[in-house]
């Protein structure tokens, strides 16, 4: 997701956009030119995160991805040549840019998607219910996933392999990512076995101020990397995955580490670490005064794909740097 407005809309408006699913129902589509002989191991049926049972008659070979994380996953497991449609926000890896766009994340063109004749459409949180319904009425198999934690993302990667009949490739990627996550968790447990963890505030927008809450998988990454989420706690329990904060609230929380993951279209209004050091209010924060402000690429933190582990490792290095510095000051 390239913009914080898109990211926050996608997450906070999920119950409205996805709606309340009714009883599971089968959605089937068999191409008119499908061969008479069935493919071994197929058809396969899956129940998606809307509670809908989706049956695929054969391994999908024409896929439309309506989420950047899915697009990255498809390329990472070697299925990039099966992707025939993407959103404007699916810009990684670079090879994805050669694929025809079907429009925005929440405003894709139904007509364009149907014209591509996909045998699978992958959607994630934020895809409006009317879009999903329209695609299903057109006879297209749609699988919807909603991922809240890093574990959800890794499970989703493995599931994509099952949707495509590429289990070994997806499981190999999943095993690699799981091993990297385990290494970070082991380091974190060792580093903070006998000491308090730092308060970490991860911001994605400054006008207004939005932070990664405990219900986002960016918040899950903070915890796995060894931090305490400064945008957490009972008072923000009902604020959703990306709570909006005021500067006074941030000053009261006074985080040890400030991570700036400014969404790209906010670059013109976002403040750099150096600018925060010169800005009233912000410059009083411990993280700013102690030089513990880090600017990072927002995409790995906001896309439910393989790069979430890159974000985990980067955040773990940031927190480990704080820990070593704090130990030296002690």
Question: Secondary structure of 149-186 in the HEC alphabet?
Answer: CHHHHHHHHHHHHHHHCCHHHHHHHHHHHHHHHHHHHH
Instruction: Please provide the CATH number assigned to the domain covering 185-329.
Output: 3.40.50.1980
Q: How many CB atoms lie within 10 A of CB 36?
A: 4
Supply the pLDDT for residue 35: 47
User: How much is the pTM?
Assistant: 0.86
Annotate 252-288 with b (16+ C-beta within 10 A) or e (fewer). ebebbbbbbbbbeebeeebbebeebeeeeebeebebb
Q: Is 283 helix (H, G, I), strand (E, B) or coil?
A: helix
Q: Cis link prior to 208 (omega < 30° from 0)?
A: yes
pLDDT digits (tens, 9 = 90+) for 24-43: 444 434 343 444 467 789 99
For CATH 3.40.50.1980, list the domain ranges present in the chain.
Answer: 4-146, 185-329
When the candidates are 2.40.30.260, 3.40.225.10, 3.40.50.1980, 3.40.50.300, the CATH number that belongs to 4-146 is: 3.40.50.1980
* Closest-CA residue to 182 (of 150, 227, 148): 150
State how beta strands 83-85 and 120-124 pair.
unpaired
Taken as a whole, the chain contains a residue count of: 330
Average model confidence (pLDDT) across the chain: 87
Ranges of residues in the chain with a pLDDT under 50 are 1-36, 330
Supply the pLDDT for residue 89: 93
Supply the pLDDT for residue 264: 62
In angstroms, the Cα distances linking 18 to 13, 152, 156, 226, 269 are: 8, 18, 18, 33, 32
Supply the pLDDT for residue 125: 73
Supply the pLDDT for residue 272: 87
């Amino acid at each position: 997701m390239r913009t914080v407005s898109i990211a926050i809309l996608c997450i906070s408006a999920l119950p409205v956009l996805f709606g309340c699913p009714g009883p599971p129902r089968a959605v089937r589509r068999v191409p008119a030119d499908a061969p008479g002989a069935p493919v071994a191991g197929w058809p396969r049926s899956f129940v998606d995160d809307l509670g809908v049972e989706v049956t695929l008659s054969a391994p999908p070979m024409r896929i439309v991805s309506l989420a950047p994380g899915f697009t990255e996953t498809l390329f990472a497991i070697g299925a990039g040549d099966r992707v025939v449609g993407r959103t404007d926000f699916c810009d990684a890896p670079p090879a994805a840019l050669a694929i025809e766009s079907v429009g925005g994340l929440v405003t894709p063109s139904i007509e364009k998607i149907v014209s591509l004749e996909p045998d699978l459409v992958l959607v994630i949180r934020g895809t409006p219910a009317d879009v999903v319904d329209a695609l299903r009425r057109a006879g297209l198999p749609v699988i919807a996933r909603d991922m809240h934690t890093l574990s959800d993302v890794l499970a989703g990667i493995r599931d994509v392999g099952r949707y495509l009949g590429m289990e070994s490739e997806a499981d190999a990627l999943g095993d690699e990512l799981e091993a990297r996550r385990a290494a970070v968790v082991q380091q974190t447990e060792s580093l903070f076995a006998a000491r308090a963890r730092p308060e970490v505030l991860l911001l994605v927008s400054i006008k207004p101020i939005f932070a990664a809450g405990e219900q986002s998988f960016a918040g899950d990454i903070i915890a796995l990397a060894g931090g305490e989420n400064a945008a957490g706690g009972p008072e923000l329990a009902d604020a959703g995955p990306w709570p909006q904060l005021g500067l006074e609230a941030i000053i009261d929380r006074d985080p040890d580490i400030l991570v700036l993951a400014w969404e790209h279209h906010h670059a013109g209004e976002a403040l750099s670490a150096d600018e925060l050091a010169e800005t009233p209010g912000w410059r009083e924060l411990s993280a700013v005064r102690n030089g513990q402000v880090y600017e990072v690429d927002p995409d790995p933190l906001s896309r439910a794909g393989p790069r979430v582990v890159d974000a985990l490792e980067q955040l773990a290095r940031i927190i480990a740097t704080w820990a070593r510095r704090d130990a030296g000051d002690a």
